Structure 1
Amino acid sequence: MTSPPPSNTTCTTEFYRDSATEELVCRHRSDPDNSQLSEDGDIILGGVFPFHGNWKDRQETYTNKPLPAECTSSIARSVRVALALSNDNKVVYETLETSCSRPAQVQAIIGEASSSPCMAIATVVGPFHITQISPFATCACLSDKSKYPSFLRTIPSDYYQSRALAQLVKHFGWTWVGAIRSNNDYGNYGMATFTETAQQLGICLEYSVAFIRTDPLSKLQNIIEIVKRSTSKVIVAFLSNMDMEVLIYELSQNNLTGYQWIGTEAWIVTSYIAEKDQYHMLDGAIGLSIPKAHVRGMKEFITDVKPLSSQNNNMLIEFWETLFNCKFNQTNSSPENLKQCTGQEDLTGVQNGFTDMSRMPIFNNVYKGVYAVAHALHKILDCKKTCNRLMQLDPFMILQGVKNITFKTKEGDEVYFNEDGDPPAKYEIINWQPTENGVVDFVTVGLYDASLPADKHLSLQNMTLTWAQRSSQVPVSVCSEKCFPGTHKVLQKGKPVCCYDCLRCAEGEISNTTDSITCVQCPPEFWSNDRRDVCVKKEAEFLSYEEMMGALLTAASLCGTFMTAVVAFIFFTYRKTPIVRANNSELSFLLLFSLTLCFLCSLTFMGRPSEWSCMLRHTAFGITFVLCMSCVLGKTVVVLMAFRASLPGSNVIRCFGSTQQRLSVLVFTLIQVVICVLWLTISPPFPFKNLKVVKDRIILECALGSPVGFWAVLGYIGLLAVFCFILAFLARKLPDNFNEAKFITFSMLIFCAVWLTFIPAYVSSPGKFSVAVEIFAILASSFGLLICIFVSKCYIMLLRPEKNTKKCMIRNKLTI
């Protein structure tokens, strides 16, 4: 940009006494620097723009007055320029009664282009309410109106750019990135906001380093080594274009390629940066830029500059000599290879940073700033018909007018400032796409608009992007690979949150999203599948007829029922034989009937539990076994009574005849019926889904309802069995013709042994196995009674019929 170098004017004045006139004189301490480009007018606007990119280092001796810095854009020079614009350079004669302070020379200042100089200028001119509008200072710190009340800008704050960069990084799935920033207000404040937003989005910085182009080479080399050792493949460069130029050179010296660069508006569309990238290390870079704009006549104005029209303008002369590598006034010290400048060289064919129209958005920002002041002045001076030129302009009035102005440019852009003095935040997303001839094409691939809803801030066009090393695939830059569904992240000790291990979810837990932080417990009736990514309904488990164990128990139950029926048929066939009649056939048939019910009641324990089956299985079991025990007890008592009746003078058999036997069986059974009725009335058994015994299955079982009822039923059966066992045991040594008691003793011994072992086995068996244990106990005790009491009698009736006579029984004393 054809801009004036900073003035050498300082901000202070000194009083001097003129010896000739004896008048008070206000003079500047140092020699004044006149503006490089200036023109008088009724209303004057000032401009402060950098012209040089670096400066010459000097070692001061502090013995003489330091010389002004040469070729510089330093902060101190920027402040001096601003003060020169605020106060003219003339010597002012004042009386003793007046001061040296006068109204500002300019009504507003456009500039500077960098954040740090803008902060310094705003600090100086802010107390005087002089409006300052920067076209390119983006530091978010300048939005603080308590520190910079008169500062405004026509470029968005880095607060939005930093957040946009973080969202861009997140959009492409990069969670492990490096960061390099300029070590100034622009880079430090911008990177601070980026880091904060990145952490919120789950992005980690492997390293964050800072430098400025004037740092020693060793510091830059140290940054290069950090990049070399890093594992991240994405680098966010929050750098000014001049710092980026220095970095590119060092990168090329170390052949650092293969990194995906993320750039800011300061360098992402700067053509000479692309020209410096001779090794195409930045190919595929992506970043944000100010939306494209066109200022009418700007290109024609730049290409029409002629230095000879301003022979006294050193800035244009220096510009022309640098642009065409020539010299106007050759001297003996001039390099021999420099040609003579004519001043008629043609700018239209020059392609470099001075004539680069890709920087038109910055020119447009200057255009907006100037017109914002113009519109504010137009409104203040009431220029609808004629301007009120007699009105005394006040800087504060102009500042308020600019803050409240809203207008549209000829290109249709709306210009206004928010309460922080910032314009609307809009950025184009730019992708570096190298062409076949090696020239980089800055392609717009998307848009970021902070005025839209949060979920629509970032929008990318459906087009192919070029990535690092001209790849068409999106680079991968993560500390740890993604944790797929079925796993969850576990942070690695001492490392950032982006570095983690992927552990498989535990049984009963799932994760159905990528990079899940935790696993979710499945609902009680569900269980995790093998991949641990879906909760599936638990399989219901119960003892069914179809499975092997259920089929075997069913077969055993039917076999016992069939055997009991066969025995009953045999007894019925031989009912008139001595062996049947001598053994109380009525109790024998009732016992066989009860055993049949015992075998069949085991079937009620199989199949899916229901409300009726749960109530039936326990009550049927309790009543049938009590009926069975009552019959056995009756037979035992009959044996004992028969022995007592055979003694001389005994008449006890008459006290326990057939009627008494039937009545005893009925009474014992009714007691169990009453217990079962009370159990079913108070708290009956019910179907229950047991989710605790086995984690991955639902055990369908019958809850007892009232445990007291269950143990009362079981205890009553056990009481009768023990009582029967004791009586039979006492009768075991009676004469051989009464040895029926031995078989009853054996059967009761088996019965008690089975049910005593049943209790611990039932309690310790999980799920359907507890039901199988109960069925096994029912079948085992039933088979024990059937075999011990009836098999020997059937053997005699079928195979030894000669013994089934009254005479033989008396002779052999085998009343069975």
Structure 2
Amino acid sequence: MRPREELEAISWYWKNYQYVLAFLFAIEEINKSPHLLPNHSLGYDLYNTFPSDRRSLQGAVFGLSGGKQTLPNYNCQAQKQSVAILVGTTSALSFEIGTLLELYKIPQVTYGPFDPMLSDIKQFPSLYQMAPRDTFLTTGIVRLLLHFGWMWVALLVSDDIQGDRFLQDLKAKMVTNDICVAFTQKLPAITGVHTIQDIEIIISTAHVHILYGDLGSLLNIGMSTNFHLTAGKVWIMGNPSTSQWDVVFDYLDDKCHYYHGSLLFSDNKREIPGFRHFLRMLNFSQYPDDYYFTKFWIDQLYCSLSELHCGRIESCEPNSSLEFMPDKTDMMSVSAPSYFVYNAVNMVAHALHKRLLENLEVRSLGDVDQPIIPPWQLHPFLRKIQFTNGAGDNTSLDDKNNHVTQYDVQNLVRFPDKSWVLVKVGEFFSKSPHNQDLVINEEMIKWPVIFRETPQSVCTQKCVPGFRKTSQEGRPICCFLCVSCSETDISNQTDAPQCMQCPAQEYPNSERSRCLPKNLTFLGYEDALGMVLGFTALCLSLVTVVVFGVFVKHRDTPIVKANNRALSFILLISLLPCFLSSFLFIGRPNTATCILQQVTFALVFTVAISTVLAKTMTVILAFKATMPRRILRYLLLSGASNAVIPICSLIQVIICAIWLGSSPPFVDTDSHSEPRSLIIVCNKGSVTAFHCVLGYLGSLALGSFTVAFLARNLPDTFNEAKFLTFSMLLFCSVWVTFLPFYHSTKGKVMVAVEVFSILASSAGLLGCIFAPKCYIILVRPSKNSLKGFKKKKCQSK
């Protein structure tokens, strides 16, 4: 190592020196191996990489010139020509010297994080990356967010090509899974500790911050003036460079406790067999020509320089070893870049070994004692190289297989004594099924001290069952409103996008989170309304029977004989089933009752109305028969008015027969009238036939009313024309009122309205026609005789 400028010693940079030690260990291991490059030894030159384009290019020119001069195209020490150059830990260095090295076709092997830009074969055909692609890193992060329900996160990424690619890929997966970004902040790239910038971190309601960047990104955030405002944020770090977290914390010291509880995605920890023993046995005298090796022991293990030999260490403290370093820098734990350095040296050695074997096949042994291998001849072997390293891992540069497929999820924990430890709390397997790719042990996770349980990170709290999400205009999809479902809808899941309607046989509970089965109900006798109607129908039926008995007992009296005694008996007999038909509407409907309801109602009321019409016609014929007209007298004596009943009834029978033949009534359920009940009702079947029945009854009633109204002024001795008029007026009024009420009600009330109309109209006929006659028969019997009739007739004259 030949440094031309002194670099300020910063303790937290010494962790990177492990890469040099891994390089030296790999060289010594190969040189001692009897199987790899036998009878040959690997040599090396080490050059420091400074945070400067000029200094990086200067180091590359020194290497190309043999190490003592800056004349890359003139080198008299050809035997010291390098066959490969190992570069790291940032891709920026490869970009800086890649074009220069490409002129000489020298293989450039990088051990830093994988950079997609460096994989461009057209631009960098001689460059090889040891680090595998982080193809599934964004998938693992999204799966972690979904596992904890973190739907509102902030993104902080490095302001470079890698950061842009990561951001683009992550956002695409987040959109697919409805995860929203609270804000995105680009972190400026830094090239050294002196270029750290004071950035202003955006603060939001997101409790989860995803950080993707190199070591400088961590330093930039930690050194920001408002970094303390990130207390209580869960950091998710996804770049392999964040494996150097201990370096950052050594530098940040008291401010680094804000990273406590962070989660890190890292490649599986790998061990290099024998490396820990190599580090443990190192002493200050092994590499006296290495300036930085000497400086490392002086700075980290407090050794003293010799006064006689300039730059040589004279003595160190007892038990000075990398295993017991007093500083916080841990040199014994293998970092990912150190593992890649170890693999890079072995890869070059295997390629060189295959190239030498090829020479042995075409040339004699004497001619290849010290062969000179041009660097460009290694490329065919490097591209196809496959070997198993000392750790037993299969190593290949095949782009199809060189992917990170398994990540460790680690929890960053800080103890009260300010010590730190990474605790493995889970794993992500990209090749496992979707529901099994992430394994997390939540009980092992230590969250930031502000959280007593697993933190939440949402823009809006979840909509509980019974509510649905509705988006807000101009805001991310995660920032929504929770709107209660309507009375007929439910939502049985959290964050339901929409409510759904319960089936007809079910209704929503009070929380509108699930559907409950509706109770079957109908107009029964246990209901107060059904009980009242049934009792009323029974009483009116008994009254009808009593009236019929009174008329039978006094059948020979003038008032019963008047206006056709037979028609009065027929009317009373027809009124009895009118009242009794109400019981067909009360109770649980079945097919038989549904058919009998309408047919019975239609026929018995037709008989009753036609009987009233016949009685009215009888009154008119009786008074008109006194005139000298034989036809009227013949009609009266022949009982022609009685023929009205069978004729009118026959017409109704035909209508009912057509109804039953085409679309008869049937049992149905009403799920809309009452929200929590399923009402069993009788469906009319053909609505047209039902209205035809009502229309025919209405026409018959209107005709009876008209005839009775015309006969109202006839002599009123035993004349019931007025009573018939009033009865039909009441009948028509009830049924005219019934129609709008019937169609405006539903369920049991609709049935009750129909029953009430039947009872009211029947009671009107019974009361208006027979009540006056019963009053005379029972209370004023003196008027119910021929003597009383003559006396009243004389008084009227």
Both proteins in one fold, TM over 0.5: yes
Alignment partner of 2:619 out of 612, 636, 639: 639
Question: What is the CA-CA distance between 1:744 and the residue it aligns to?
Answer: 0.4
Code of the residue aligned with 1:718 in structure 2: it is G
Equivalent-residue separation in structure 1 for 2:229 and 2:725 (angstroms): 100
CA 1:720/1:421 → structure 2, altered by over 3 Å: closer, same or farther? Answer: closer
The structure-2 alpha-carbon separation of the partners of 1:648 and 1:662, relative to structure 1 and needing over 3 Å to count, comes to closer
1:529: Cα distance to partner? 2.2
Deviation at 1:586, TM superposition (A): 1.5
Distance across 2 between alignment mates of 1:386 and 1:254 = 67
Task: Name the TM-score, length of structure 1 as normaliser.
Answer: 0.81
Q: Please give the secondary structure, in 2, of the residue aligned with 1:441.
A: strand
Task: Spell out, residue by residue over 1:751-805, the C-alpha distance to the aligned partner (whole angstroms, 9 max, x if none).
Answer: 1111122222222223333322222221111010000111111112212222221
When residues 402 and 319 of structure 1 are mapped into structure 2, their CA distance, relative to the original with a 3 A threshold, is same
Q: Deviations over 1:518-567 (max 9, x none)?
A: 22333344332221211234455543332222222222222221111111
Q: 1:497 to 1:572 in 2, by over 3 A?
A: same
Q: Which residue pairs with 1:783 in the alignment? A: 763
In structure 2, how many angstroms separate the alpha carbons of the residues matched to 1:73 and 1:421?
33
| 1:236 aligned to which of 210, 222, 226 | 210
Report if the CA contact (8 A) 1:139-1:159 is conserved: no
Q: Tell me: CA distance 1:416–1:318, structure 2 relative to 1, closer, same or farther (3 Å).
A: same
Q: What residue is the counterpart of 1:196 in the other structure?
A: 172
Instruction: Tell me the CA shift for residue 643 of structure 1.
Output: 0.7
**Could you say which residue in structure 2 is the equivalent of 1:494?**
474
**Which among 88, 96, 118 is matched to residue 112 of structure 1?**
88
Q: Which moved more, 1:155-164 or 1:252-261?
A: 252-261
Match of 2:598 among 608, 618, 634: 618
* Match among 779, 788, 796 for residue 808 of structure 1: 788
Find the counterpart in structure 1 of residue 267 from structure 2. Answer: 290
2:300 alignment counterpart? 323
Cross-structure match for 2:13? none
Distance (Å, rounded) in 2 between the aligned partners of 1:690 and 1:212: 72
CA distance in 1, matches of 2:400, 2:331: 31
Name the residue aligned to 1:741: 721
Q: Does 1:797 align with 2:777?
A: yes
Please give the alpha-carbon distance, in whole angstroms, between the structure 2 residues aligned to 1:219 and 1:810: 133
Cα offsets for 1:621-672 (capped at 9, x unmatched): 1111110011111111111111122345656343244653443311211111
Distance 1:4 1:783, change over 3 A: farther
Q: Secondary structure at the match of 1:566?
A: helix
Range with bigger deviation, 779-788 or 799-808: 799-808
Q: What is residue 21 of structure 1 aligned with on the other side? A: none
Check conservation: 1:451, 1:457, Cα contact below 8 A. Answer: yes
Q: Is the 8 A contact 1:139 1:190 kept in 2?
A: no
Conserved 8 A contact 1:187-1:239:
yes
- What is the 5 A alignment of 1:472-483? 473-483=453-463
Q: For residue 274 of structure 1, what is the aligned residue in structure 2?
A: 249
Deviations 1:460-508 (A, max 9, x none): 2364221112855222222211111111222233322222221112232
Q: Partner of 1:572 in structure 2?
A: 552
CA distance in 1, matches of 2:73, 2:411: 61
- Distance, in Å, in 1 between the alignment partners of 2:457 and 2:424 is 23
2:571–2:608 contact (8 Å) kept in structure 1 = yes
Residue pair 1:486, 1:512 contacting (<8 A) in 2 also: yes
When residues 76 and 571 of structure 1 are mapped into structure 2, their CA distance, relative to the original with a 3 A threshold, is farther
Closer/same/farther in 2, CA of residues 268 and 107 from structure 1, 3 Å limit: closer
Give the match for residue 753 of structure 1.
Answer: 733
Shift of 1:587: 1.2
Residues 494 and 291 of structure 1, relative CA distance in 2, 3 Å threshold: same
Structure 2 contact 157–163 (Cα < 8 Å) conserved: yes
Who is 2:10 aligned against?
none
Higher mean C-alpha displacement, 707-716 vs 36-45: 36-45
Between stretches 665-674 and 275-284, larger displacement belongs to 275-284
Judge which range, 763-772 or 73-82, deviates more: 73-82
Distance change (3 Å), C-alpha of 1:248 and 1:325: farther
Supply the AA of the counterpart residue of 1:645: A
Instruction: Check conservation: 2:138, 2:166, Cα contact below 8 A.
Output: yes
Q: Is the 8 A contact 1:48 1:111 kept in 2?
A: no
Asked whether the equivalents of residues 86 and 104 of structure 1 are also in contact (C-alpha less than 8 Å), the reply is no
* Residue identity in the other structure for 1:804: N
Task: Kindly provide the CA deviation profile for residues 672-706 of structure 1, in whole angstroms up to 9, marking residues without a partner as x.
Answer: 10111011112223334455666665554434333
Shift of the 254–602 alpha-carbon distance from structure 1 to 2, 3 Å rule, reads closer
Distance in 2, Cα, partners of 1:74 & 1:217: 12
The answer to whether 1:350 aligns with 2:316 is: no
1:712 corresponds to which of 692, 696, 706: 692
Tell me by how many angstroms 1:255 deviates. 7.0
> How far apart, CA to CA, are the structure 2 residues paired with 1:94 and 1:231?
60
Which of 550, 561, 578 does residue 581 from structure 1 map onto?
561
How many angstroms does 1:130 deviate by?
5.2
- Tell me, in whole angstroms, the C-alpha distance in 2 between the residues paired with 1:571 and 1:473: 90
Q: Distance between the aligned counterparts of 1:542 and 1:474, measured in 2?
A: 53
Q: Could you tell me which residue of structure 2 aligns to residue 166 of structure 1?
A: 142
Candidates 487, 509, 512, aligned match of 1:529:
509
Residue 420 of structure 1 and its aligned partner are, at CA, apart by 5.2
Aligned residues with identical type, % of pairs: 32
User: Does the CA contact (< 8 Å) of 2:389 and 2:395 recur in 1?
Assistant: yes
Amino acid at match of 1:579: I
Higher RCO (CA < 8 A, seq sep 6+)? 2
Aligned mates of 1:45, 1:617 — CA distance in 2: 111
Gaps of 5+ in 1: 8-35, 53-71
In structure 2, stretches of 5+ residues that fail to align are 6-22, 32-36
The answer to whether the Cα contact below 8 Å between 2:208 and 2:235 also exists between their aligned partners in 1 is yes
Which deviations, in whole Å up to 9, do the C-alpha atoms of 1:200-223 show, x marking residues without a partner? Answer: 333322222223346999995552
- Whole-Å Cα distance in 2 between the matches of residues 86 and 452 of structure 1? 47
Relative to structure 1, is the Cα distance of residues 88 and 799 closer, same or farther in structure 2, using a 3 angstrom cutoff? same
Kept after mapping to 2: 8 A contact 1:154/1:369: yes
Confirm or deny that 1:372 pairs with 2:386: no
Structure 2 residue 712 is matched with structure 1 residue 732: yes
- Please, what is the CA RMSD of the aligned residues? 4.1
TM score, norm. by length of structure 2: 0.83
**Superposed CA offset, 1:553-598 (max 9, x none):** 2222222211111111211222233322234222111111111111
TM superposition shift of 1:732 = 0.8
Residue 259 of structure 2 aligns to a residue whose secondary structure is coil
* 1:557–1:599 Cα contact (<8 Å) kept: yes
Which has more helix, going by share of residues?
2
2:686 maps to a residue whose letter is S
In structure 1, the residue matched to 2:112 is 136
Matched, 1:362 2:337: yes
User: SS in structure 2 opposite 1:477?
Assistant: coil
C-alpha distance 246-652 of structure 1, shift in aligned 2 (>3 A):
closer
Deviation, 1:142, is 4.3
Name the CA shift for 1:138/1:167 in 2 (closer, same or farther; >3 Å): farther
Distance 1:170 1:463 in 2: 18
Residues 52-92 of structure 1: CA deviation (Å, up to 9, x unaligned) = 6xxxxxxxxxxxxxxxxxxx234565466556656756798
Q: Per the alignment, do residues 76 and 521 of structure 1 end up closer, same or farther by CA in structure 2, a change over 3 Å counting?
A: farther
Tell me if the contact between 2:198 and 2:223 (Cα under 8 Å) persists in the aligned partners: no
Cα displacement string for residues 139-194 of structure 1 (whole angstroms, at most 9, x for unaligned residues): 34445556555544343434422332332233222222223333334444334433
What residue is the counterpart of 1:63 in the other structure?
none
Higher deviation after alignment, 405-414 or 638-647: 405-414
Q: In the comparison of the two structures, how many residue pairs are matched?
A: 752
Aligned counterparts of 1:549 and 1:218: Cα–Cα separation in 2: 89
Identify the match of residue 586 of structure 2 among 592, 601, 606. 606
8 Å contact 2:153–2:209 — kept in the other structure? yes
